[in-house]
Structures are given as C-alpha cells and as structure tokens.
Structure 1
C-alpha cells in the first residue's frame, strides 16, 4: 500500500504534464492568435 501511495501523486502529475504538453502542441499547431 505504501508504494501505491507514493506512485499516485506521480501518476497524477504525469497526466497533468501530458495534458499540458498536448494543449501546448495543439496551440502551436494553430497559428490563429486571439
């Protein structure tokens, strides 16, 4: 159970970084600035 408690924050941070990078790439692929 200890390893799960240690891995959960890492998994959440990994998903957050993944979504952030996906948003950045999508924003850069669209040169239309608003």
Structure 2
C-alpha cells in the first residue's frame, strides 16, 4: 500500500504524517508513506 500525504510541509501536514505513521505501525500495515 502506498500512502501519500499531499501538502507543502506545513505543521498540519507534518502532524498528519506523524499520525499516519503511528497508525500504520500500530496496525502492522505494510505501507510506503511519502
């Protein structure tokens, strides 16, 4: 699975990326996060 965070790196985008990475790790999903 590929998950892409669309944005310019603003604080909200960074928080979203952190939340996605945490969720992926907790669920044990094999995903590429960009």
TM range (shorter): 0.5 to 0.7
| CA RMSD between the two structures | 2.2
Tell whether 2:9 aligns with 1:17.
Answer: no
Runs of at least 5 residues in structure 2 that lack an aligned partner in the other structure: 1-8
Runs of at least 5 residues in structure 1 that lack an aligned partner in the other structure: 1-11
* Structure that is richer in strand per residue: 2
What's the TM-score once normalised by structure 1's chain length?
Answer: 0.54
* Structure that is richer in helix per residue: 1
Count of residues in correspondence between the two structures: 23
Greater Rg, structure 1 or structure 2? Answer: 1
Which structure exhibits the higher relative contact order, with contacts defined as CA atoms closer than 8 Å and separated by 6 or more residues? 2
